[in-house]
Amino acid sequence: AQSVTQLDSQVPVFEEAPVELRCNYSSSVSVYLFWYVQYPNQGLQLLLKYLSGSTLVKGINGFEAEFNKSQTSFHLRKPSVHISDTAEYFCAVSLGITGGGNKLTFGTGTQLKVEL
């Protein structure tokens, strides 16, 4: 079975500073990787996904992530954050097209708090 680890439960950062949210996964087969954002009392919004191809994936709101197969990581980055980026961020994995029915396994989330 696959699993996802988000080591940082909270990441405080000043506005306009860069940020990296870490995500590591474990799986014995190929996977798809995702980052979602959740604002308070709301559902999840997809930021970006890696299915195949280029390992650098660009998403919405200026976020990007890089798939590193050797390190089994999919870290999320943004060069300059804004107050409005304050939210909970979830990394998720699903098995590749060969199995799993696209069920998502989520990490425990990282609370990004952007301060003035």
Partner 1 sequence: GAVVSQHPSRVICKSGTSVKIECRSLDFQATTMFWYRQFPKKSLMLMATSNEGSKATYEQGVEKDKFLINHASLTLSTLTVTSAHPEDSSFYICSARVRVAGSYNEQFFGPGTRLTVL
Tokens of 79: 């060069």
User: Does position 51 bind partner 1 by CB under 8 A?
Assistant: yes
Kindly state the smallest distance separating residue 57's Cβ from partner 1, in Å.
14
Q: Which of 13, 27, 32, 87 binds partner 1 (CB under 8 A)?
A: 32
User: In angstroms, what is the minimal distance from the CB of 43 to partner 1?
Assistant: 4
- Token duo for residue 88: 């909970």
Q: Compute CA distances 10 → 19, 22, 88, 109, 112, whole Å.
A: 12, 11, 9, 9, 6
Site for partner 1 in 90-109 (CB under 8 A): 90, 97, 101-109
Q: Tokens in use for 40?
A: 């308070």
**Do residues 95 and 31 touch, judged by C-beta distance below 8 A?**
yes
- Contacting residues toward partner 1, per CB under 8 A: 32, 36, 41-46, 49, 51, 90, 97, 101-109
